[in-house]
Chains A and B, each alone.
Chain A
């Protein structure tokens, strides 16, 4: 089992409030991603759950009992760190076995569990090496191996892929997702990369300045962002925001349209503009368009777009894909 409930969790360092008040319920077996810009408190929240930081107030309920005052080891959680945090003076085998040894398990059992974890993670040939003799991806797998042998109630990942290069990151992302499927364990994953969040999560928790802005499935956040912040953070390229007269016409302070939700035409449309820049990605072309009163807008065109910089273009937002926000930046849901 691995349910985790945060109840009015607060964290202050001296006079500085990092987490004003967090409430969250994580179900058993769920893959939850904490996402937000740097300094939003996502890592702090994870460390509070892990027990590496003490809560200032509130409860952290793991499997029904309050663990807020328990030391990390007593919470039954495993953590994978950004820097891997392997023990440099121990072999891969001993790195993976360390937690089991600390728990005082019999040697035969430890050996069997280490061998099994090594097999799952393709580390069998490397068990006698030291961490410094491994590549970045292998080190990351050792860190994961160290986490899985203890059969924790939940796994905590603190930006585990940010030290890897782009190609490896995609591979490891898939490996972690497969691991989640085969283990069926609760996982909490911290990242600042919204692509990781979108692709991996069952549910995403968006944090901003220590507050939980919105919790929902990737597509819920994509389709129905609660605030300007979530709308701007989820989705790549970023949602276009338009204010003033054009927004007022829609009865809002600000409206938002995603680059992929606009129709292009070289003859007519709602907003007239000039292409300033074209980014060719092969499958897509992202056009940066100077659209007069609407400002600089990003638009996605499928495939190779034939018009280049300087060409006139008309943009029309898709019906029902216009997000409206009030003067506090909150989403206005009824009637669009």
Chain B
């Protein structure tokens, strides 16, 4: 039978899709039937839309099987492992032949995600075998100076991947210039943007790369303390980070005089966040680590001068750190050859929403948004019309279809009024109401505002009220101007990024979808048929067959009618949940 490996993808999304059960099934069968293969675990390879994923590597090459349940797993073991016959119809990717999913993988350049899905994240040897910890060893052996490390990062053109886009090398230089006995390096893993899951995947799939990036950063700025501030909502990421930290300590990558570099001492611990979006902001994050309410502080002084416990502190995001070892190992030019003039390298995006292939992609900067959505993402679900893409989460905005040829780089995306952000791309089709989306984000920022600045605290609330009244059909034409005025005031008078960017979702939707606002206000209509306050559900008497499905599924039992007779919706009790609409097989529920 030869040497075979069976590798199961066990990231959070894979487990949610049932990969855990598949793994247990394969493990049990291996034992019971005495099958000869090596069973391994890995994390997310990015093809979330095909989860659960199982890879089989035999002497000829690799076969990645998608959408594997227990029954299919048995079939694969039976055919491929026992009889050497790959099950072609389940293969989604292979290095031997092309599949329909090649368009998803071919245009990608994996640097930050270089190991995700290709190794066991809980095994440090796997990481070392893939050039892991080779970058910090290179620094130790060649005696590369702090200034040289900073220069390499600066020359690579790497900019902060958390959304700020500040040059990483420059940030390191500022922190290095401030001398102090104690200094801290912090990894911001408080990925709060709803609709974004890049950092989670990196932490779950390649925790050692983040650690190595932090170790290199600590060397560069002479930090002796490290903290990873991670969302408590990511239990698997925390677990794998803890394992990685333990292994790194054992192997001497953390500790005293690391790799023989005299005086280079570092330990890293994890601080679990407690659920506050504002803690993604640097100074709020520091306050939270110190055990206080996560409220931003006035800058200057910047963290580089006075940060955690008033010591010089450098904070970078997960994806930024994951890039660092690769850059040190391959030199700055290898990284900066990708990308545009001002945005170098690659960027990871999380595709979600109404796109056919949702998942994680890493593309060179400069690719057009349209290519990301249609080439990699495979287009819109059910081939509906592509309407807009939301980038940058609550701080970003909606880019309309006609601007989809905008390229992904910091400055081009900023010019549209959205921001690159941390890399969430939520794709929307014609059935998404843009006012509803704007309201959704305002509702989020309004709840998450820490309350320190008046305009952010009360202004977002007032904007939300106006948006709510528009979606209920009670808006006035002057409301659009009121929203714009408030938005400007909030931007001007907020201390931190949360408030300064909170109005962006509203401003971009007004800019690009003003007609939809006007339809809600003037015509009392929601063109996308989402805003329930403006809709009524009715039974089309010509199409209703009296099958009773709608009545059975109605949560408030407000649909009356005998079997084989036309049904009727009592409007007073209808909560407009849309269940009847989605359940009716005869298209007999009308929205008006």
**B partners with A:** no
Which residues of A approach B to under 8 Å, CB–CB? Answer: none
